[in-house]
Structure 1
Amino acid sequence: MISDNINDSLIEKDLRYLKLLSKEYPTISSASTEIINLQAILNLPKATEHFISDIHGEYESFTHMLRNASGVIKRKIDDVFLNTLTEKQKSELSTIVYYPEEKLNIIEKKHDDLDNWYSVTLYKLIQLCKNVCSKYTRSKVRKALPKDFEYIIEELLHEQGDKIDKKAYYSEIIRTIVNIGRAREFIIAIANVIQNLVVDRLHIIGDIYDRGPGAEIIMDALIKHHSVDIQWGNHDILWMGAAAGCEACVANVLRICLRYANLNTIEEGYGINLLPLATFAMDTYANDPCKDFIPKVIDKNINKKDMDLFAKMHKAIAMIQFKLEGNAIKNHPEFKMDDRLLLDKIDIEKGEININGEKCKLNDTNFPTVDFKDPYKLTDREICIIKKLTRSFTNSEKLQRHIKFLYKNGSMYLVYNSNLLYHGCIPLNEDGSFKKVKIGNSTYSGKSLLDKYDKLIRNAYFSKNNIKNKQYGMDMLWYMWCGEDSPLFGKKKMTTFERYFIDDSATHKEDRISYYKYRDSEKICKNILKEFNLSPETSHIINGHIPVKTKDGESPIKANGRLLVIDGGFCKAYQPETGIAGYTLIYNSYGFLLTSHKPFTSIKDAVENDKDILSSTTILEHAAKRKRVADTDIGRELKKQVEDLEKLLIAYRKGYIEENRK
């Protein structure tokens, strides 16, 4: 029934827009058909969303998690085949869906009756695909189908098992696919359709970069994904700053990569030339063992000679970083980071440094590049090196393509289907109220603060003609990495210098800001949700950044379920701390499922031995009434379209607009 709220005055007010709409729907019949179609879509089950956080370059775990949809595909296989398949058969079928080409290479070598295996497997995949597609319209499924097999797959997906006269028709399709040698390609096509449709939307809650060896591989996968958004993390921001040309961000990126002896992404992934840095480091620190700069090794195959070189490069870039950061702090007193100006607090003769009035012993007093009369001044050679390195970052075609994708598909936060997604935190005062931060001549807090930061971050990359705006944006990108009021950092200071040069661990402490004291408070989390115009009773905050120490009994569920922290240690460096290998969150039409994962062995093991990630799933919320498309953001847009089309129908019927029947 057409809404009673639509009257003549409303039609007249919107007449100009309705005339434009009539070009797409020129008749009563076409408008009516679209209303029927949209109303049907509104009543379909809500599509599945997949949330992953803090991937940190661990591309093998990420790739597998993406392909198995955090266990959703395996659960679908269990639902469809129940006890008709053994666990071994289910595992093999799962692997075929995850890695169709690789698994077929193995199976095709060992099966004697390959044609029969093809036929049986095709039937299984069609049954599974039917289940996956059941919550989508035919139109949406059709768009996901590969052009080569679009018609055939669509026919098979809509097979009616109770129609005896059609069984021979469908059986002949399968038999012909096998007989003409297209079974392999067809299996790969169906597997890809299942992967694409089992999860409708992928949310990455920040920190794609650093520590692990394959951030660029992850970025390539995200670019190919059919529907993805990214909430920037502090490590992502660092790479975004480096790509924009921020020298302090370039130095930090390289220091972190050298800290973990992880240069694959830098050199092989993005083609950054590190020879100038290596040459400078060997010359400057030739007789310095740089013992506190020996990398934390993830790759056990690195030899001692390379490790020694990495340590020297590590120290060289760290010293360049401290100088660049010192200059940024002095140029921006509004950052309130004077306590991070440490090079001028060194008493080189006594081998001490003054930290907040306390004298601390330095474990290393070899500072050949520091002029203690002007400690933040870079040497001519350091200036030359950082400029060459920065040019390499800004001229890397692949890096620029990836960073543009981060800007296009990313943001400081996202409100999606009544949930608030952000990587780090919301700056709060000690009493839990929103902290007011002055930027320029204006003051911002809560949502307005994140919106302002988002704008400045974009200026850093896209302000090509306004040098002043670009430079301020680049400095702000660096501040987002380590500033107290950064929603991406969440600590009062970053004690990088202390961790390298002072043995006293008390100086290494990085106190978290008030947000982390209050994220267990249901009242505060509800206030945050209200600040972003969300329901404090039904909406959720989905958060990453700080690993949940599961082994110590910490729960990822905070504030009586209002806030969910899904950083569970994807990064191998964090796994001893968390006790697991990551969390992922699934939000489907029935509610929220939180999955915790054991460490992943390798893609090779998964393909050859059908080894899936061992995971355990907790139901966080189960809706008494299944959510429909009508309950989502897309649903709200579709309802507006229905209302507009209803207005168009009335305009046709009352003669405001003439139908075009041509």
Structure 2
Amino acid sequence: MKEKDNQVLRVLAKQYPSIAAASTEIINLQSIMNLPKGTEHFLTDIHGEYEQFNHVLKNGSGSVRKKIDEEFGNTISSRDKKSLATLIYYPEEKLEIVRKEEDNLEDWYKISLHRLVQIIKRVSSKYTRSKVRKALPKDFAYVIEELITEKEEIHDKEAYYNEIIRTIIRIGRAPQFIVALSQLIQRLVIDHLHIVGDIYDRGPGPHIIMDTLCAYHSVDVQWGNHDVAWMGAASGHMACIANVIRIAARYGNLDTLEDGYGINLLPLATFVMDVYEHTDCSVFAVRTGKNRNRKALDLDIRMHKAMAILQFKLEGQLIRRHPEFHMEDRVLLERIDFQKGTVRLGSGGREYAMRDMDFPTVNPADPLALTEEEEEVMRGLQQAFLNCEKLQRHVRFLYSKGGLYKIYNGNLLYHGCMPMEEDGSFAGVEICGKAYSGKALYDILEHHARRGYYAKDQAERTMGQDLMWYIWAGKGSPVFGKDKMAAFERYFVDEKETHEERKNSYYRLLEQEETVDRILKEFGLHGKESHIVNGHVPVEQIHGESPIKCGGRLLIIDGGFSKAYQAKTGIAGYTLVCSSRGMQLVAHEPFESACAAIVNESDLFSHYLDVETYVHRKLVADTDVGRELREQVYYLEELLEAYRDGTLREE
């Protein structure tokens, strides 16, 4: 026996000190491997749209409704199915409506409880009793287990179950029990959740989404460039802070910072009212659906402009510090001719007229320099971000549950793209004086992003933070995937050709099988059953674009969760569901509100697109967990043999 194996067996022997104990665990693990695999749920590009996110999470992208259809078939009406689904998604709100409208509340409770118990029996069937027990709500764990577990010793089981439900209703616990059952169904329908990037920006509730994810039972996150910008801001990086606040101002979501995270923007507002009071801010409109009074909206617009100028200054300074970024053409404040009112854009330096030249804090002789007032404002904002307990907790969650990519059950998940040259080879990107490409590029950028938040050494921390900004908007960043971020041009230049952000060659090559094979091989994946699940670039279904690329080998599941994209995409996003029977993309309708979904008993998914149907149902044995279990069984069987041949003694 190898020394390493011997050490493993000695550790195992402490946990399983006898032949009986080891044998029982082997039987347990072997049986688990023959259960159907749990359902995975993939969401991406949520962009702060917390109401739609919560609804999709509650309905499992149609998974709950599928279970209702499977369980009841034609035995209950379509209307009853919709009503039951709404009850499962929004139990408290639905109960409030029922109490007001239902004539015979006791009968309604009885019917609803029986139906909910039936659904729980179905959704729990693919799990071990132990796993289901761990998911049960503490207050009702014993009663639920009694209702969903077959009791062979009880002859009249129907009478037994009916009496439990009658007693629940009689003692006034039916509403609480219905809520518990509904939440348990939501919990069991989805075994694991993947967030493939971009939780933050544009929408009003990223902090609410993060609270939900922090409490979710099983989740991983692939960082999007918007997430990394917030992570950089939380680390105290001023250019990231300026980007985060500018975007919040642009979309009318400064409340996210002030109310959601408790970040004090009063010093910024005071600075803006003083310095930008008589400044032309006409090109800095705020996109908001909220009813804002004229004075508040005017302040938001001025804050929008002030933060944009601060962003362009700070980014220019950062690019000057890092010539290896090869982004000199993006130091645009230095390319302005302040006398002519023009700016030179692109490598050719073509001149374009500026729409706005009213810059009260820009010194033409040194346009990247911050004024004393701007320095003071940025230092205050930096401290506010660093000392925000809620933001820091959310960002630590992103670090603990996330990364730039994830390999899970034979699929590769990432946000953005694999940077490629025109010929399909992996593009080299210079990081700290060395060129990286392919998987190594992802790994080195993630390493520096972690050091930017956690490193004790200041130089290492500063480099990591600068690289977080590069991940957000650098032309070699895999999660950005474009040649530039044209915020400056969209604000200040009329000509639309300057607004174009040219995508990496990856997006032109992703329909080619050799491209997908090359990427999967780079990450150690082989075979036709492996897929790339990709977010970041909205799929324009309205123009006939499909999210299914390369015959289903690559799936782009951003279809416009964000309301800002829905006119462009024609839908409200794609999600992906991978069950034991296959993979399906789900296209979603625009979401009005949770209130409308409850009152109208409406769902969001409009249609399914089959990506792959498995010939044989996938089991736990076919997953990453299955590989781990097989390894455990191997060592347990070695332990069993060691007990039997006397190498180790039983306790």
Instruction: Say whether the 8 Å CA contact 1:527–1:536 is kept in structure 2.
Output: no
Instruction: Say whether the 8 Å CA contact 2:509–2:515 is kept in structure 1.
Output: yes
Are positions 1:444 and 2:463 aligned together? no
Are positions 1:411 and 2:392 aligned together? no
Pick one of 470, 486, 493 that aligns with 2:484.
493
TM-score of the two chains, using structure 1 as the length reference? 0.96
**How far does the alpha carbon of each residue in 1:455-489 deviate from its partner, in whole angstroms, 9 at most, with x for none?**
100011111x2000111111001111111110111
Aligned counterparts of 1:394 and 1:438: Cα–Cα separation in 2: 29
**How far does the alpha carbon of each residue in 1:489-543 deviate from its partner, in whole angstroms, 9 at most, with x for none?**
1011112211111111121121111111111211101100000000142200000
AA aligned opposite 1:325: E
Displacement of 1:611 after TM fit? 2.0
Pick one of 297, 306, 313 that aligns with 1:316.
306
3-state SS of paired residue (2:422): coil
Residue equivalent to 2:71: 80
3-state SS of paired residue (2:632): helix
Are positions 1:181 and 2:142 aligned together? no
Instruction: Say whether the 8 Å CA contact 2:473–2:485 is kept in structure 1.
Output: yes
- The equivalences for 1:446-461 within 5 A come to 446-461=438-453
3-state SS of paired residue (2:587): strand
3-state SS of paired residue (1:564): strand
- The equivalences for 1:396-435 within 5 A come to 396-435=388-427
**How far does the alpha carbon of each residue in 1:363-394 deviate from its partner, in whole angstroms, 9 at most, with x for none?**
11112211111111100000001111111111
Pick one of 392, 412, 420 that aligns with 2:384.
392
Aligned counterparts of 2:623 and 2:565: Cα–Cα separation in 1: 35
Instruction: Say whether the 8 Å CA contact 1:98–1:195 is kept in structure 2.
Output: yes
AA aligned opposite 2:51: E
**How far does the alpha carbon of each residue in 1:193-246 deviate from its partner, in whole angstroms, 9 at most, with x for none?**
111010000000000000011010100110110001000001101100100000
- The equivalences for 1:489-528 within 5 A come to 489-528=480-519
AA aligned opposite 1:386: M
Instruction: Say whether the 8 Å CA contact 2:43–2:576 is kept in structure 1.
Output: yes
TM-score of the two chains, using structure 2 as the length reference? 0.98
RMSD: 1.4
Are positions 1:345 and 2:313 aligned together? no
Displacement of 1:285 after TM fit? 2.3
Are positions 1:254 and 2:245 aligned together? yes
Displacement of 1:291 after TM fit? 0.8
Aligned counterparts of 1:521 and 1:369: Cα–Cα separation in 2: 50
- The equivalences for 1:584-623 within 5 A come to 584-623=575-614
Pick one of 213, 219, 228 that aligns with 1:228.
219
Aligned counterparts of 2:450 and 2:114: Cα–Cα separation in 1: 50
Aligned counterparts of 1:507 and 1:361: Cα–Cα separation in 2: 12
Are positions 1:328 and 2:318 aligned together? yes
Aligned counterparts of 2:499 and 2:430: Cα–Cα separation in 1: 28
- The equivalences for 1:44-59 within 5 A come to 44-59=35-50
3-state SS of paired residue (2:609): strand
3-state SS of paired residue (2:244): helix
Displacement of 1:305 after TM fit? 2.5
Instruction: Say whether the 8 Å CA contact 1:159–1:170 is kept in structure 2.
Output: no
Residue equivalent to 1:358: 350
Aligned counterparts of 1:581 and 1:499: Cα–Cα separation in 2: 25
Aligned counterparts of 1:14 and 1:349: Cα–Cα separation in 2: 76
Aligned counterparts of 2:605 and 2:649: Cα–Cα separation in 1: 62
3-state SS of paired residue (1:329): helix
Count of aligned pairs: 649
Residue equivalent to 1:135: 126
Residue equivalent to 2:202: 211
Gaps of 5+ in 2: none
- The equivalences for 1:141-220 within 5 A come to 141-159=132-150, 164-220=155-211
Aligned counterparts of 2:184 and 2:31: Cα–Cα separation in 1: 23
3-state SS of paired residue (2:35): coil
Instruction: Say whether the 8 Å CA contact 1:586–1:592 is kept in structure 2.
Output: yes
Aligned counterparts of 2:632 and 2:613: Cα–Cα separation in 1: 30
Aligned counterparts of 1:575 and 1:46: Cα–Cα separation in 2: 34
Aligned counterparts of 1:589 and 1:222: Cα–Cα separation in 2: 24
**How far does the alpha carbon of each residue in 1:91-123 deviate from its partner, in whole angstroms, 9 at most, with x for none?**
111111111112112212332322222122111
In 2 relative to 1, CA 449–520 (structure 1 residues): closer, same or farther, beyond 3 Å? Answer: same
Pick one of 541, 549, 564 that aligns with 1:550.
541
Gaps of 5+ in 1: 1-8
Aligned counterparts of 2:6 and 2:331: Cα–Cα separation in 1: 64
Displacement of 1:572 after TM fit? 0.3
Residue equivalent to 2:277: 286
**How far does the alpha carbon of each residue in 1:420-441 deviate from its partner, in whole angstroms, 9 at most, with x for none?**
0001111112211112223224
Identity of aligned residues (%): 55
